[in-house]
A and B are shown apart, each in its own frame.
Chain A
Amino acid sequence: MSDNEQLMELYTQLLVLRHFDEFCYDLKMKDLIMNGFHPYSGQEAVAVGVCSLLREDDVVFSTHRPQGHSIAKGSSTRAVFCEMLGRRGGVSQGIGGPMQWIDKPHNFFCGSIVGSGLPIAAGVALAFKRQARDSVAVCFFGDGASNTGAFHEGMNLAAIWKLPALYICENNQYGEAMPVQEFVPVSRISQRATSYGLNGVSVDGMDVEAVLNATADALEQLRAGQGPVFIEMVTYRFRGHYGGDPEHTYRSREEIAVWRNRDPLTLARTRLLARGYSEETLDDLEASVQAEIEGDMEWALEQPFPTVEQATDHVMIPLGQD
C-alpha cells in the first residue's frame, strides 16, 4: 500500500495521461492528428504504476500506443503533443509521428511493428548486464503481440541469459477488432511465460496500486540480477483501436460500460476520498491538470512543421564522421 502522498502523485499522473489522451482524441477527430494515434484511455494505471518506479537510466520500449508510457517515463507533454501533430519540437521533431519516436534523454523508444520490442529490450538488458549496471529494460506490448515470433524469441533469449528485462503485457482484451480469447488459446497470457521458465503473473491493470506493487517486486528481482520478469496487466481500452474506429462492430456498449465502471481514475479517486481528501481538492487538482495540458496543446499547435530539407536529416551518420 502506498501512502497518501504517493497515491496522490499517482492520481495526478493518471489525470495527466487521461486528459492528454482525450485532447489528442479531439485533435484526431479534427484531422489534426492521423489514424496512427491509438488512444490509451482506460489503460493509464499500467503506464503510471510501472513507470513511477523506474529511474531515468532505466530504458522503456513501447508500442504503437506509446503516449502514456512516454509521458509516464518523463517525456514532456509539449514534446509528445508536437510529435502527434507532426511538428518541430516533437520528441522526434515531427518526423516519427503518433506511433514511433525516441526520447533519448528519457531513455524511451517506441515503434509500430507489433511484438518487435521484446528482442531489442533483451539487447539493452544484455548491455546492462555486461556493463555490470543495475539498470533495467522495460518492454510494454499488447495481448496481440504475444502471438508474434519476436515475442517468443525475445522472451526465450532474455530467459536463457537471465537478462534484466521486464516484460509487461497489457491485455486490453483486443488486437484491433479481434477479441483476445479468439486468438490466444490460454486463459491467461502470463501462462505463456511459464514455458520460458518464468514465473508469469497476472495483475489487475485497472488498479494503479496493484500495478505498483507487482512492479516493485519485479524490480527487486531484476536489479538483483535474477533474470527477466513477465507480468500480464489485465486492462481495457475505453476508446477504439484508433481514434474514431468503428468499435461498435466488434464490441457491445454494455461491455464497455462494465469496464468503464472499473475506470482506473475513479478507482484511485475513491481511495483518496476514503483516505480523507475532499471532493473539492480532487476537483481542483483535475481542473488544474486539464488547464495545464490544454496550455501545452495550444503551445504545440503554434509550432512549425518540419521542412522538406529536414525530412532527410540524420538518415545516416555522414561517412567520415561515423
Chain B
Amino acid sequence: MARMSYRDAIRETTAEELRRDDSVYLIGEDVGRWGNLFGASAGLLEEFGPERICDSPISEAAMTGCAIGSALYGMRPIAEIMYIDFITIAMDQMINHGVKYHQLSNGQVRVPVVFRTQGGVGMRNSSQHSQSLENWFVNVPGLIVVMPSTPADLCGLLRSAVRSDNPVLLIEHKSLYFTRGEVPEGDYTIPFGVADIKRAGEDVTIIATSWMVLQALAAARTLADEGISCEVIDPRTLWPLDKQALIDSVKRTKHCVVVTEAPAEGGWSGEAASVVHEHCFAELRKPVRRVCGMRTGIPYGSDLEKAVVPDASWIGDAVRDVLA
C-alpha cells in the first residue's frame, strides 16, 4: 500500500502500463511538456519520449480518430480529452466509429482504446468547462463508462481499461485530483461492472458516483450522529452496471437515494433508480429519491457552482426524507 493523490495514481499507473507494454502510448493536448493540466503525466515525456507521450494539436476529432485508427493496427492508445466539455468535437470519431467497428467487422476487429477525460465542478471554470456529461455515453451500446472516485479505484480501473480490448471512457473529476488514499501495490486491477461498498450501513442505501461519493460519505458521517446508518455504494462503472450489488443492498436497507452531479432528466440516475424499483419494489418502503445537479449551465459567480450541484446537506435532507 502506498498513500498518494488521485492525480499521482493516474501518473503512476500510466507509467507502469507504458513500461509493461510497448504498444501503449498517451496522446492528448499538453500531456507532454506540460505533463497535463493537473500534472497527471508530469515527467512521462522525459522517461518515454515524444513517440509515446504525444502532444497533440488542438484537434479533438483528429486526436481521437488517430487513437482509434492506431488501435485497429496493434497500438493501445490512451487518448486524453483535456475537459469532457471538448469531447463534443470528438464524439463522431468515438461513437460512430470507435465503438461501432467491432460489431461491423463481425467481431474481427478490436478497438483497444481508452478515452480519458475529466468533468465536474471545482475550479470555477463555468459552463463550458465544468459539465457532467457521462449520461450521454451510458446510452451508447458497446462503450464502457468508468468513473473512479478514489486513487485506488482509479489505479485498478485505469489498468483494466488499458488492458481491455473494448473501448473505454474513463471520466475523472477535477475536484478529486488532489484527494488522497491508499493504493494497493503490484499489478492491481479492478474488473468492470463491480460496485464497491464505500461504507456499510443498515437504514438506507446511497448510490453515488465520482465526486458525489465523497459528498455521500460526508453526509453519512453526519447522519450517523443522528442515529441513521447509511450504506454508500459506488458502482464505479456506470456501464456495465453492477445491478446485483444495488439490489442486494436495497433489499436489506429498504430505502434508496441516488446521487449524481449531472442533472437528473434523461440520465443514469434514472437508470439506477429504475433498476432498484424493478427489483426491490416489494421491499421498498418509499420510492427512490434522486439528488442531482440542477438543470442549468454551471454558473461562475462566487461559489455559485457549488450551489447548483449536490452536497452533503442535500443528501442528508433526502435521506431524512425517505426515512421519515
**In the complex, which residues 270-295 of chain B have their Cβ closer than 8 Å to any Cβ of chain A?**
none
B88 to chain A, nearest CB (A): 11
Task: Check: B109 CB closer than 8 A to any chain A CB.
Answer: yes
Residues of B close to A118: CB separation below 8 A: 62, 65
B68 and A123 contact, CB distance less than 8 A = yes
Residues of A close to B68: CB separation below 8 A: 119-120, 123
A84 to chain B, nearest CB (A): 15
Residues of A close to B44: CB separation below 8 A: none
Which residue in B75, B89, B92, B105 is a CB contact (below 8 Å) of A92?
B105
A29 to chain B, nearest CB (A): 27
For the complex, give the distance between the alpha carbons of A128 and B110 in Å: 17
Interface string of B164-178 (1 = CB under 8 A from A): 111000000000000
Which residue in B25, B59, B103 is a CB contact (below 8 Å) of A157?
B59
A113 and B69 contact, CB distance less than 8 A = no
For the complex, give the distance between the alpha carbons of A175 and B143 in Å: 32
Task: Check: A17 CB closer than 8 A to any chain B CB.
Answer: no
Task: Check: B82 CB closer than 8 A to any chain A CB.
Answer: no
Smallest CB-CB separation from A96: which chain B residue?
B104
Which residue in B89, B96, B191 is a CB contact (below 8 Å) of A319?
B191
Stretch at the interface among A148-156, A241-249, A255-263, A279-287: A148-156
- A150-B65, A315-B141 known; A102 vs B108 contact (CB < 8 Å): yes
Across the A-B interface, how many residue pairs have beta carbons closer than 8 Å?
Answer: 148
Task: Check: B192 CB closer than 8 A to any chain A CB.
Answer: yes
Total contacting residues, chain B, CB less than 8 A: 48
Smallest CB-CB separation from A165: which chain B residue?
B69
B97 and A123 contact, CB distance less than 8 A = no
Smallest CB-CB separation from B96: which chain A residue?
A113
**In the complex, which residues 102-128 of chain A have their Cβ closer than 8 Å to any Cβ of chain B?**
102, 104, 109, 111, 113, 116, 118-128
For the complex, give the distance between the alpha carbons of A59 and B70 in Å: 12
Residues of B close to A128: CB separation below 8 A: 73
A150 and B93 contact, CB distance less than 8 A = yes
B166 and A123 contact, CB distance less than 8 A = no
- A123-B65, A315-B142 known; A109 vs B74 contact (CB < 8 Å): no
For the complex, give the distance between the alpha carbons of A170 and B60 in Å: 25
Interface string of B81-112 (1 = CB under 8 A from A): 00000000100110011001111111111100
Smallest CB-CB separation from B193: which chain A residue?
A319
- A124-B72, A314-B102, A314-B106 known; A119 vs B64 contact (CB < 8 Å): yes
For the complex, give the distance between the alpha carbons of A156 and B56 in Å: 11
B106 and A154 contact, CB distance less than 8 A = no
B109 and A104 contact, CB distance less than 8 A = yes
A95 and B106 contact, CB distance less than 8 A = yes
B92 and A319 contact, CB distance less than 8 A = no
Residues of B close to A116: CB separation below 8 A: 65, 92-93, 96-97
For the complex, give the distance between the alpha carbons of A96 and B107 in Å: 13
For the complex, give the distance between the alpha carbons of A133 and B152 in Å: 38
Residues of B close to A111: CB separation below 8 A: 96-97, 100
Task: Check: B297 CB closer than 8 A to any chain A CB.
Answer: no
Most chain B beta carbons < 10 A, residue from A102, A109, A125: A102
B166 and A316 contact, CB distance less than 8 A = yes
For the complex, give the distance between the alpha carbons of A153 and B63 in Å: 8
Task: Check: A253 CB closer than 8 A to any chain B CB.
Answer: no
B69 and A124 contact, CB distance less than 8 A = yes
Residues of B close to A124: CB separation below 8 A: 69-70, 72-73
A83 to chain B, nearest CB (A): 10
Task: Check: B51 CB closer than 8 A to any chain A CB.
Answer: yes
A286 to chain B, nearest CB (A): 34
- A122-B62, A157-B57, A319-B192 known; A104 vs B69 contact (CB < 8 Å): no
Task: Check: A317 CB closer than 8 A to any chain B CB.
Answer: yes
Task: Check: A100 CB closer than 8 A to any chain B CB.
Answer: yes
Interface string of A151-175 (1 = CB under 8 A from B): 0011011001000000000000000
Task: Check: B61 CB closer than 8 A to any chain A CB.
Answer: yes
B70 and A102 contact, CB distance less than 8 A = no
Residues of A close to B92: CB separation below 8 A: 113, 116, 150
Smallest CB-CB separation from B165: which chain A residue?
A322
A157 and B63 contact, CB distance less than 8 A = yes
Residues of A close to B166: CB separation below 8 A: 316-317, 322
For the complex, give the distance between the alpha carbons of A149 and B57 in Å: 13
Residues of A close to B69: CB separation below 8 A: 119-127, 137
For the complex, give the distance between the alpha carbons of A317 and B165 in Å: 7
Which residue in A160, A315, A319 is a CB contact (below 8 Å) of B57?
A160
B99 to chain A, nearest CB (A): 8
Which residue in A131, A154, A157 is a CB contact (below 8 Å) of B74?
A131
Task: Check: B39 CB closer than 8 A to any chain A CB.
Answer: no
Which residue in B63, B72, B164 is a CB contact (below 8 Å) of A322?
B164
Residues of A close to B59: CB separation below 8 A: 119, 153, 156-157
Which residue in A100, A113, A156 is a CB contact (below 8 Å) of B62?
A156
- A116-B97, A149-B61, A149-B89 known; A123 vs B106 contact (CB < 8 Å): no
Interface string of A174-203 (1 = CB under 8 A from B): 000000000000000000000000000000
Interface string of A216-243 (1 = CB under 8 A from B): 0000000000000000000000000000
For the complex, give the distance between the alpha carbons of A78 and B27 in Å: 40
Interface string of B36-64 (1 = CB under 8 A from A): 00000000000000010000110111111
For the complex, give the distance between the alpha carbons of A130 and B143 in Å: 27
Chain A residues within CB distance 8 Å of chain B = 59, 92-93, 95-96, 100-102, 104, 109, 111, 113, 116, 118-128, 130-131, 137, 149-150, 153-154, 156-157, 160, 313-317, 319-320, 322
Instruction: Other than A120-B65, A122-B66, A124-B72, give 9 A-B pairs with Cβ distance below 8 A.
Output: A95-B104, A119-B68, A120-B97, A150-B61, A150-B62, A150-B65, A153-B62, A153-B65, A313-B106
A-B contacts, 11 listed (Cβ < 8 Å): A59-B73, A113-B92, A119-B64, A119-B69, A120-B72, A124-B72, A126-B69, A153-B60, A156-B59, A316-B142, A320-B191
